[in-house]
Structure 1
Amino acid sequence: MSYKQLIEGQRYQIEAYLREGFSYREIGKRLKVSHSTISREIRRNGIRDNHYLPEVAQSKAVKRRCLATKYSVPEPTITFVEFGLNEKWSPEQIAGVAKLIGYKVSHEWIYGYVQRDKLCGGKLFKQLRQSHRRYRKGNRAKRVIIPNRVGIEHRPAIVNSKQRFGDWEADTVLGKQGTGAIVSLVERKSKLYLIRKVQAKSAADVARAMIGMLWKYRRHVRTITADNGSEFCHHERVAEKLKTDIYFANPYSSWERGLNENFNGLLRQYIRKGTDLRTVTDKQISDVERALNARPRKCLGFKQPAVVFEALRKAA
């Protein structure tokens, strides 16, 4: 079994299994990782005498990852990126200028660098013009614990290419406070976009909507990638009903579900931010969905998502 990096939830499971006296090999079997991964984790991230605390281990792992990522890009490039951020340039602007002067860095990497800097206690995120959107939960928000969460790092690599039919992204779009939400789903290859209004942004309502939206396409649902909102806490019910696997993006990493974020932006052309969703009918929602799926997309050779989806569906 190959080496895999552990996620925070697994570190809490390791502590529980150690308390019960399980061997490294048995813990590895239960977490579906190599026993050498468990041994290495406790050796590198434990404290004295192999004593293991998950919160300490997570902190050590994050700090090590921050340092490793920082030095994977040349120091002059990092200096330029930080200069641009301090000048309040957007990551896209920084990446664009960097390319002109010979520095190789993408705006996605810059967003990731800012996120990792924040996790390490840095303040670069405050320089982003959209910091309130990309980091809206802040440090004071109550952390949502999603039961049996499986991180995006465990998602099949083929999903990243967007070449396989049946991989979806999920999100919610809020209306005016207390007036409900819109559940949105997009298929990564065809760009088909599905939306449905729910009365509340509750886990039960969102799970019910997701199942209803995808039921007739259930043969073509291989994976779903969601964010870490509490509305996705009933993901196991969705996975069971649709016979699929659900993965969760990293916190503050909206680019990992970039397609869904893009479509939600298009949705705002029809349903403005702060709209009282009680005034929006189901027919209006259907009309918007139909309009977006009939819009030619450059990435599809200017074909329509609805047409591409049906062709892929028939060929599957």
Structure 2
Amino acid sequence: MNKESGYCVTQETIYKWIWTAKHSNHYNHAKYKRLCKHQRHTGRRQKRNNTYNKRSAITGCVGVNHQPQVVDNRYRISDIEVDLMMGRNHKLALLVMTDRATLVTIIEKLNSKNANEVYQRMNERLTNFDSPWIKTLKFYNVKEFAYHYKIAK
């Protein structure tokens, strides 16, 4: 297209058109269905400046590769793994805290799965133990464990 004509098509428009052609059954799109195979990123793209979805953006996370080797071996008692079990339609949840060596499990019923509720329940349960007893806590990188730094204190 000529630069002097004044028309411009953004890359976002092209990606949207390719995505529409891929998922459309219209006969006009039939010959363009496989264009998506030639894209650099074949998955669904997130729009720029989309700040709404911050689900996995938890600050201060320590990666699994930075944990001590003894935690992976599961020999030491007091390395706790924390997870959530979701109920029907993701309405209710169970907070599951399991010792990785002995598999002793503590289960708490949660009324909601927001981070504050998870923090309150864990704080109630874990304050019953002497602080030197618990050596490490392993969380999954989901928004329900956003207050992991408070629990660590």
TM-score norm. by structure 1 comes to: 0.31
Tell me by how many angstroms 1:179 deviates: 3.1
**Paired residue for 2:147?**
234
Q: Does 1:215 align with 2:127?
A: yes
1:166–1:222 CA contact under 8 A, matched in 2: yes
Post-superposition Cα deviations, 1:289-315, rounded to whole Å, max 9, x if no partner, equal: xxxxxxxxxxxxxxxxxxxxxxxxxxx
Tell me by how many angstroms 1:122 deviates: 8.1
**Paired residue for 1:225?**
138
The aligned amino acid for 1:219 is P
C-alpha separation in 2, matches of 1:139 and 1:206: 32
C-alpha separation in 2, matches of 1:184 and 1:213: 11
- Identify if the C-alpha distance between structure 1 residues 220 and 144 changes in structure 2 by more than 3 Å, giving closer, same or farther: same
The aligned amino acid for 1:165 is I
Tell me by how many angstroms 1:178 deviates: 5.8
Q: Does 1:165 align with 2:91?
A: no
C-alpha separation in 1, matches of 2:41 and 2:104: 39
**Paired residue for 1:273?**
none
For structure 2, which runs of at least 5 residues remain unmatched after alignment?
1-39, 47-51
C-alpha separation in 1, matches of 2:111 and 2:152: 22
The aligned amino acid for 2:117 is D
Q: Does 1:204 align with 2:151?
A: no
- Identify if the C-alpha distance between structure 1 residues 178 and 225 changes in structure 2 by more than 3 Å, giving closer, same or farther: closer
C-alpha separation in 1, matches of 2:81 and 2:144: 14
C-alpha separation in 1, matches of 2:45 and 2:136: 30
Residue identity over aligned pairs, in percent, reads: 25
Q: Does 1:152 align with 2:64?
A: yes
Structure 1 segment 244-283 matched on structure 2, within 5 A? none
Indicate the structure with greater strand content.
2
Tell me by how many angstroms 1:174 deviates: 1.2
Query: In structure 2, the residue corresponding to 1:150 is in which secondary structure?
Result: coil
Structure 1 segment 52-71 matched on structure 2, within 5 A? none
C-alpha separation in 2, matches of 1:215 and 1:139: 44
C-alpha separation in 2, matches of 1:144 and 1:179: 20
Query: In structure 1, the residue corresponding to 2:107 is in which secondary structure?
Result: strand
Tell me by how many angstroms 1:177 deviates: 2.9
C-alpha separation in 2, matches of 1:169 and 1:122: 35
Q: Which is bigger in relative contact order (C-alpha 8 A, separation at least 6)?
A: 2
C-alpha separation in 1, matches of 2:45 and 2:100: 32
The aligned amino acid for 2:118 is V
Tell me by how many angstroms 1:175 deviates: 1.3
C-alpha separation in 2, matches of 1:186 and 1:197: 15
Query: In structure 2, the residue corresponding to 1:147 is in which secondary structure?
Result: coil
TM-score norm. by structure 2 comes to: 0.62
For structure 1, which runs of at least 5 residues remain unmatched after alignment?
1-119, 124-137, 241-316
1:182 to 87, 91, 94: 94
- Identify if the C-alpha distance between structure 1 residues 199 and 158 changes in structure 2 by more than 3 Å, giving closer, same or farther: same
Tell me by how many angstroms 1:216 deviates: 1.8
The aligned amino acid for 1:239 is A
Indicate the structure with greater helix content.
1
C-alpha separation in 1, matches of 2:101 and 2:90: 34
Query: In structure 1, the residue corresponding to 2:82 is in which secondary structure?
Result: strand
User: How large is the Cα RMSD of the aligned pairs?
Assistant: 2.5
Matched length: 107
